[in-house]
Amino acid sequence: MPGSDYISTHINEIRAGFPILQTKVYDKPLVYFDNAATSQKPQVVIDALVNYYTTLNSNVHRGVHFLSQQATTAFEDVREKIRRFINARHRHEIIYTRGCTESINLVAGTWGRANIRTGDEILITTFEHHSNLVPWQMLCEEKGARLIVCPLLPDGSLDMDALERLMGPRTRLLSVTHISNSLGTINPVHEITRLAHQKGIVVLIDGAQALSHETVDVQEIGCDFYAFSAHKVYGPMGIGGLYGREELLNAMPPYQGGGEMIKRVTFEKTFYNELPFKFEAGTPNVGDVIAFGAALDYVSDLGIEAIARRENYLLNYATEALKKDRHIRIVGEAPRKASLISFNIDQIHSFDAGTIIDRFGIAVRTGTHCTQPLMDSLGLSGTIRASFAFYNTIEEIDRLIEAIGKVEELFL
């Protein structure tokens, strides 16, 4: 693993390994500050995907021929990489899905349908992405359960006192984001899980934003489920996974029916496969799984702690720069934040500001960021969101500040 200052001293070399960062937008070098939506992919990840389709393309678990055996080995090796990356106890506790959204829907559709009853409560927070809200709404409507929402504090951190009070005798599940995709707040998931488990509440963590920013140890957190996506941690889109404790997964019914998730089938009855295959019906996304493994190798080689230090440096610089502008209001200033800033400019709609900023070759996200109830609670129509990755630079932040100045000249 490189030393702690490797990223800063080799930033040009690192950036050269991301082909899209060499792109020009409106004849200006691309500045990509939309990493919370999806991160860019290093060449090694792209190469891994291309290599699968050019040298290994075959279905897995279903053939004795050479290509099938090689593809199966590569496919299952990634499951072990994921297990190590999040420190799960067993590799069969890792279920491949299309991403975080499908992982949450899997839990809602299996554990939820089997365990939630009329009058039960599911507890979430005001932070939640629609993917960690809508599935629970649907389940509550189906089962006659109640969805309870924990509020935030004025600084954008979770109201932990309120969360503990809301954990009532009918609370069956707590589903909470690890890192807010809109405010950047890092939730104390270890403490949240501890409090919930004291009251016998099952805990799901939405880890979509977390894997790329800090060390995730599901055994240390103690959660029952942890959902994640590859595309936010420098891997491909359309692939991700769910960690679940073995005893819970064994007790849950399958999510979908078809090939792979079966052990024996007759016209009268089907006997389901063992973990993890019970939840992986049909032909899997083999190429993207292998490329996900390459992404995890890339992150591990750089070191997640070194990445976190680099991103925190960028976050602090950008925060101080934005605070110098009297027209800017930063939304969300919790003590612990990931490398993401939501902000608004006086009297300027976020969409209008983002459109102008784009003309300077700078990609930021505008709107509600799939957290419309959160924005409603803040009395906002949306925000401008700049989210940073380790490959971003101080010079790029300076370009954003300059572009914001041009927006203000036009509208204020």
Q: Which residues are catalytic?
A: 370
Strand partners, 147: 122
Cβ atoms of residues 342 and 383 within 8 Å: yes
Radius of gyration for the chain, computed over Cα atoms and rounded to the nearest angstrom: 22
One-letter amino acid at 31 equals V
Cβ atoms of residues 148 and 156 within 8 Å: no
Q: Distance between CA 34 and CA 37 in Å, rounded?
A: 6
Q: Distance between CA 159 and CA 185 in Å, rounded?
A: 12
> Count of CB atoms within 10 A of residue 75's CB?
22
210 CB-side CA count, 13 A: 25
In which order are the strands placed within the sheet that holds 383-387?
A: 328-331, 340-345, 383-387, 365-367
Nearest Cα to 232, choosing from 9, 5, 6, 35?
35
DSSP-assigned letters across all residues of 142-205: HHT-EEEEE-B-TTS-B-HHHHHHH--TTEEEEEEESB-TTT-BB--HHHHHHHHHHTT-EEEE
Nearest Cα to 243, choosing from 132, 95, 112?
95
Cβ atoms of residues 210 and 129 within 8 Å: no
